[in-house]
Amino acid sequence: MDLRLLSSFLAVVEEGHFGRAAARLFLSPPAVTQHVRRLESDLGTRLLHRNPVSPTPAGERLARHARTLLAAANAALDDVAEAADRAPFAADRPLRVGIMGHGSAELTPASVNAYRRARPHIAVELRQLDFTEHVSALVEDRVDVAFVRPTPADERVIADVLTTEQRIVAVPESHALADARDTGARLDDITDLPFFRVPGHTPRSFTDYLYFDRAARRRSTHYALTPQEVLTGVVSGRAAGSGLKSFARYYAWPGAVFVPVLDAPRESSYLAVRAADRNPEVQIFRALTLALAKELGPRISE
């Protein structure tokens, strides 16, 4: 059972009001209402009378169980936090979060903010990663967690899927393919686009992702290491770029058009950590991010 749904339900029972429950939980009233509806749907019974707000007999019984379950969950979190506080890491340095491009869209800032609320005494340091740091930032101990794509092909790193999205290409608005921004293109349409270049030490898994497993054959003379450098090449007409669908929400540059690639396999964004890392702060950040991915990920992937 999803503890977030129980928490929202119990807050409504105790406050006797959806709005006050939402304020207590730092959520919007529609979110709390949706949580209660999902819980009622999962259990197959009505849990709350709406006017006025009060628990049904089933709701009263669930409220008793909810208090016990949430108390146990909070005790478990407190125990983990106590262990984390005793770890030398907590006093030595901040949690270093690496972000490639826009990370995992809206999930990235949501994860960072959730961690800051849960662990306010631990500093968080955000570090922007370029395309060559897909694996190296972690294995060289320059970051502790990293939002990357695609999954790193390195046994020293483990990665969790966060979002899965449609692929897009970025072209100048003057390019003929820009007319397909609403209808979409196919892999055969992008083979001759002049995609930007990356340095030779860029990981092969990243270049395969970037060039659609080499379906995109042409390379321009324009080198890029960041999304901003990619788009500089796009709007100047010197290069084409590629990414996930959410890329367009974060990099809406005048002169750049984003075209869905209809038959390209969907790709995922990941949270990557060192396989041997036992730092409790990393484990807490990872757990929070995966919990949020279950809630936000499907919406980002649409």
- pLDDT, position 76: 59
234 and 172 Cβ atoms separated by less than 8 Å:
yes
Write down the CATH number for the domain with range 167-265: 3.40.190.10
3-state secondary structure of 118: helix
CA distance 214 to 199: 16
CATH fold of the domain at 3-86:
Arc Repressor Mutant, subunit A (1.10.10)
Q: Are 181 and 259 in contact (CB under 8 A)?
A: yes
Phi–psi pair at 49, nearest 5 degrees: -80, 140
Which residues in the chain are classed under CATH 3.40.190.10? 89-161+269-301, 167-265
Which H or E run includes 117? helix 107-118
Cβ proximity of 283 and 290 under 8 Å: no
Buried b or exposed e, range 25-60, using 16+ CB within 10 angstroms? bebeeeebbebbeebbeeeeeebbeeeebebeeebe
Q: Report the predicted TM-score, pTM, of the whole model to 2 decimal places.
A: 0.72
Q: Are 258 and 279 in contact (CB under 8 A)?
A: no
Q: Which residues of the chain have pLDDT under 50?
A: 90
Is residue 158 within 8 A of residue 275, CB to CB? The reply is yes
User: Which tokens go with 22?
Assistant: 């939402």
Angle at 76 between CA 162 and CA 37, to 5 degrees: 60
CATH number of 89-161+269-301: 3.40.190.10
Nearest to 239 by CA among 230, 226, 227: 230
pLDDT at residue 68, rounded to an integer? 74
Query: CATH 1.10.10.10 residue ranges in the chain?
Result: 3-86
- 167-172: strand order across its sheet: 241-244, 167-172, 256-260
